[in-house]
Structure 1
Amino acid sequence: MEKFWRLVCHKCNMCKMGRANLCLNRVRIGFERDGSHAEYVVIPAENVMPISEDIPWPSAAVIPDAVACMYNAIKVQGKVKPGDKMLIAGMGALGIQGVQIAKHLGATVFVSGRTDAKLELAKNFGADGTINTRNVELQQEIARLTNGDMCDVIVDLIGTSSSIDEQLKCLRPGGKIIAAAYASETFTVNYQEIVIKEKEIIGIRGASPEALKEAIRLVENKIIDPYVCKLWTIDEVNEAIEALRNFKNLARTAFTFE
């Protein structure tokens, strides 16, 4: 079984609008309620979703987070369609899922990052082009790769003021940036880039139960591989968190209790 890890009220305006991931009274497992890094957790039956027994547990653990989140970003909010040119800015665990989802939707997908190993992994998962921003200027490279058309949709997985400003320059008029990174800083942008060229910046928060169900279907049908680069035992939790804090992981990791 799979779980939707937000407990929601079903009564607020967001829930009534079908956007339970934005529930005004949400309770998150692992935050407001115990249950993260645990072998067992008590949740309402409505939060449990069936999943094929053929899906390995570590892969299933990634679906509510990385896969469903990127499905929300790319399909639901980004409305990516066949023929779109798309950039995933900041390659890592979410980006790998994003590449696969965007390719499934028929887009041409470019990824940017600063680590060659992560960019190479993106190629292995179907990226049409990779950009190491240590070596080249992002705007110029996007212009080259798109023959000057620039991108229809950009998913930002970096979350800095400079990254958003740079990405706006890589969008075509009417294009969208989907902001999917958690960041503590505020940012300023060129207001005229948004107003005159009708560009959009759209935030996302996790995924709705409906998006999670679709993410499960994509994994069950072998369209998406919820890649896990390393397994940790629960006794190694501190080591695992330290590796995450120091950006040592190429993709998502998972805990086992065996």
Structure 2
Amino acid sequence: MKAWQLQDASGLDGLRKVEIDRPTPGRGEVLVRINAVSLNYRDLITVRGGYGSRQKFPLIPVSDGAGVIAGVGPGVRGWKEGDRVIGSFFENWHGGEASAEKMAAALGGSVDGVLCEYRVFPAHAVVASPAHLSDAEAACLPCAALTAWSAVVKCGQVKPGDTVLTQGTGGVSLFALQFAKLAGARVIATSSSDAKIERLKTLGADETINYRETPEWGKLARVLTGGRGVDIVVEVGGVGTLNESIRSLRIGGMIGFIGVLAGEARQEPRLPLMVMQQQRLQGVTVGSIDDLKSMCGAIMQNQLKPMLDRTFSFDEAPEAFRHMSSGAHFGKVAIAIG
């Protein structure tokens, strides 16, 4: 079968298309023909060798894929050939609280990912694709969507009347906007592009802020909430945007800390303010298989659709990474394999 492999930590120059043996499912496993994958910022970090000694080579990158079961190993119940499925980001995290053991097998990082024609999964680690989604759309769910779900629904417990602040127009942020609206919340969305801001409004953003024009956007977010502050910030910028997130947050509010997109902090973080206002900084790393099932159920019930920016062919995988790295995308970048 064909696969893309990282041969070393030299970035995209180390990404090679190779021919390797097609795997065979063993006891308790299923073979999935991968029809589409989607890219996350974490995949860019992986390609750049950002996981250091924990990253082994050669490695098939990318965590999020969708396809069809093409083979069933002995002892598997509940799945048959032809079933449409997605794979869980963490194969060993069935449910409950996270632990080192549960998070040890992370697709496209500590174990091979899905940028290939076929992959074997433990039968317990695949979830039925929502029937109304294409494979490219379903491939957007395991990491980006579930991370947003964990931040907004599981950890944030957003309810009607709450205010959620999202940052930018990447996959996690757009899913967070969609889930917050499903929960009946008000959404303040930020972007550096007026054109993207108009698209955020069409997705349901109640208020928008151009953070390039308004560097102190946290202060403006407080104004937009009548001085109270927002209930939850879905923080994908990292330390580079953390201060404004703290400034925007209400007393007792939560920052769902997810990404590192904004680079280094320009000033010391406002940690004393967090203490005085009893704010919570909650790290969010995807979620469990049980969480993925719950989220897919909600997506099915509400017929929610991911926002796909562009779909590349399998041979164009390096171009897909470059497109995502440019920051020009609005939503998810996918690669069709089937």
**Contact kept in structure 2, 1:87 and 1:111, CA below 8 Å:** yes
In the alignment, the residues of structure 1 paired with residue 207 and residue 99 of structure 2 have an alpha-carbon distance, to the nearest angstrom, of 32
For 2:295, the equivalent position in structure 1 comes to 215
**2:195 matched to 1:143?**
no
Long gaps (5+) in structure 2: 1-84
Deviation, 1:45, is 0.5
**Contact kept in structure 1, 2:108 and 2:114, CA below 8 Å:** yes
For 2:108, the equivalent position in structure 1 comes to 30
Q: 1:7 aligns with which of 74, 91, 100?
A: 91
In the alignment, the residues of structure 2 paired with residue 22 and residue 127 of structure 1 have an alpha-carbon distance, to the nearest angstrom, of 37
How many residue pairs are counted as aligned between the two chains?
A: 251
In the alignment, the residues of structure 2 paired with residue 134 and residue 44 of structure 1 have an alpha-carbon distance, to the nearest angstrom, of 45
Deviation, 1:235, is 0.2
In the alignment, the residues of structure 2 paired with residue 114 and residue 231 of structure 1 have an alpha-carbon distance, to the nearest angstrom, of 24
Structure ranking higher in strand proportion = 2
**Contact kept in structure 2, 1:101 and 1:224, CA below 8 Å:** no
Deviation, 1:165, is 1.2
**2:154 matched to 1:76?**
yes
Matches within 5 A, 1:1-258: 1-8=85-92, 18-20=96-98, 23=101, 26-136=104-214, 137-161=216-240, 163-182=241-260, 188-258=268-338
When residues 21 and 215 of structure 1 are mapped into structure 2, their CA distance, relative to the original with a 3 A threshold, is: farther
Deviation, 1:172, is 1.2
In the alignment, the residues of structure 1 paired with residue 114 and residue 337 of structure 2 have an alpha-carbon distance, to the nearest angstrom, of 13
**Contact kept in structure 1, 2:93 and 2:289, CA below 8 Å:** no
Amino acid at match of 1:181: G
Partner of 1:122: helix, strand, or coil?
A: helix
**CA-to-aligned-CA distance 1:130-178 (integer Å, 9 cap, x gap):** 10011123133213311112111111111134x1111111111111111
Question: Structure 1: which 4+ aligned runs deviate by more than 4 Å?
Answer: 183-188
Structure ranking higher in helix proportion = 1
In the alignment, the residues of structure 2 paired with residue 41 and residue 117 of structure 1 have an alpha-carbon distance, to the nearest angstrom, of 39
In the alignment, the residues of structure 2 paired with residue 52 and residue 88 of structure 1 have an alpha-carbon distance, to the nearest angstrom, of 25
Q: When the two structures are superposed, what TM-score results if normalisation uses the length of structure 1? A: 0.89
Deviation, 1:53, is 3.6
When residues 251 and 182 of structure 1 are mapped into structure 2, their CA distance, relative to the original with a 3 A threshold, is: same
Q: When the two structures are superposed, what TM-score results if normalisation uses the length of structure 2? A: 0.69
Deviation, 1:46, is 0.7
When residues 193 and 49 of structure 1 are mapped into structure 2, their CA distance, relative to the original with a 3 A threshold, is: same
Long gaps (5+) in structure 1: none
Q: Which structure: larger Rg?
A: 2
**Contact kept in structure 1, 2:167 and 2:236, CA below 8 Å:** yes
When residues 21 and 214 of structure 1 are mapped into structure 2, their CA distance, relative to the original with a 3 A threshold, is: farther
